[in-house]
């Protein structure tokens, strides 16, 4: 099994929460199905989201009607129980996506979090407007390091904050978006952390096995997105995702 500390913390918390609500040993319907782009995000104004370009997929878990989602580049299907989810090795993006989506569904079912589903249609643009107000209200016009290229958030933040962006997609690295150079997350992350005063980090880091790095930086971190909804609630992480549902 993976030895990354955050996954082992979450495995224990999932087991405890499922036991507390008598869901662990009960035959429950926990499934993660690949959503189409329209199902996941609707028809937003922008057409350059990774979901719409086919770069990523959204998986969705359904636990007694409670839905939880996760982004991944390794989508697939799972049918089983929460006990079965606990047995996953979490050694690849497929299993981590199943685990995270199921965790989000469980946290929603348990009443720990409500907004576990991606915003749709005009939601991404509205999210960008609210993110600016949130970050300015809490951190002023600080130097902002954005982890993960999210087009609507980049478009909103680029005119307002001194900004650097890192990403792991080779097609994005080295490109300029909204006048901002997209840097390589594998080689430029450390330098960006030194430069930034606050970090705005995609919750997809929970699936792609890079989150431990961002949990151990010395700068304030705000996570965004639906993927990290349950983990943020269980681990006390700062998350801002105003338009998710």
Picking from 60, 78, 109, the residue at the C-terminal end of a domain is 109
Answer yes or no: do 87 and 177 share one domain.
Answer: no
Q: Read off the CATH number of the domain in which 131 is found.
A: 3.40.50.11590
Give yes or no: residues 89 and 137 share one domain: no
Give yes or no: residues 95 and 164 share one domain: no
Give residue 2's pLDDT.
Answer: 45
In a domain, 181, yes or no: yes
* Domain final position from 74, 109, 144: 109
Which range of residues forms the domain containing residue 191?
123-235
The pLDDT assigned to 128 comes to: 76
Q: Is 99 part of a structural domain of the chain?
A: yes
Phi, psi of 130 (to 5 degrees): -70, -35
- The pLDDT of residue 118 is 74
Are 178 and 127 members of one domain?
yes
CA distances from 43 to 13, 47, 129, 144, 228 (A): 36, 8, 18, 28, 23
Total domain count, the chain: 2
Q: And the tokens for 22?
A: 């008598």
Contact 127, 241 (CB under 8 A): yes
**Domain final residue, candidates 109, 139, 154:** 109
pLDDT digits (tens, 9 = 90+) for 29-59: 565 555 555 554 445 453 443 433 335 688 8
| pLDDT (0 to 100) of residue 205 | 95
Q: What is the pLDDT of residue 16?
A: 97
Does one domain contain both 105 and 146? no
| pLDDT tens track for 155-179 | 999 999 999 999 998 999 999 999 9
Same domain, 96 and 129: no
State whether 128 and 231 are in the same domain: yes
Q: What is the 3-state secondary structure (H, E, C) of the chain?
A: CCCCHHHHHHHHHHHHHHHHCCCCCCCCCEEEEEECHHHHHCCCCCCCCHHHHCCCEEEEEEECCEEEEEEECCCCCEEECHHHHHCCCCCCHHHHHHHHHHHHHHHHHCCCCCCCCCCCCCHHHHHHHHHHHHHHHHHCCCCEEEECCCHHHHHHHCCCCCEEEEECCCCCCCCEECCEEEEECCCCHHHHHHHCCEEEEEHHHHCCCCHHHHHCCCCCEEEECCCCHHHHHHHCCCECCCCCC
On whether both 64 and 139 belong to a single domain, the answer is no
Q: What's the pLDDT score for residue 51?
A: 35
For residue 157, the model assigns a pLDDT of 95
Whole-model pTM: value is 0.87
Give every residue of the chain whose pLDDT is below 50, as ranges: 1-3, 40-42, 44, 46-54
């Amino acid at each position: 099994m993976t030895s990354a500390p955050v996954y082992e913390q979450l495995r224990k918390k999932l087991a405890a929460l499922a036991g507390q609500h008598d869901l662990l040993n009960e035959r429950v319907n926990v499934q993660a199905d690949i959503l189409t782009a329209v199902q996941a995000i609707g028809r937003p104004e922008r057409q350059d989201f990774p979901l719409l370009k086919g770069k990523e997929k959204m998986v969705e878990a359904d636990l007694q009607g409670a839905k939880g989602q996760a982004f991944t580049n390794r989508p697939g299907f799972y049918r089983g129980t929460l006990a079965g989810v606990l047995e996953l090795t979490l050694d690849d993006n497929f299993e981590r996506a199943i685990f995270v989506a199921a965790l989000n569904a469980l946290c929603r079912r348990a009443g720990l979090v409500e907004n576990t589903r991606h915003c749709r249609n005009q939601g991404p643009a509205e999210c960008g407007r609210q993110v600016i107000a949130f970050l300015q209200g809490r951190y002023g016009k600080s130097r902002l390091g954005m982890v993960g290229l999210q087009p609507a958030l980049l478009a909103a933040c680029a005119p307002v904050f001194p900004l650097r962006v890192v990403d792991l997609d080779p097609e994005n690295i080295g490109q300029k978006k909204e006048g901002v150079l997209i840097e390589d997350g594998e080689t430029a992350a450390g330098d960006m952390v030194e430069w930034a005063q606050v970090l705005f980090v995609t919750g997809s880091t929970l699936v792609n096995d890079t989150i431990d790095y961002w949990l151990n930086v010395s700068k304030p971190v705000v996570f965004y997105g639906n993927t990290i909804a349950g983990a943020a609630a269980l681990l006390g992480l700062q998350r801002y995702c105003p338009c998710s549902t």
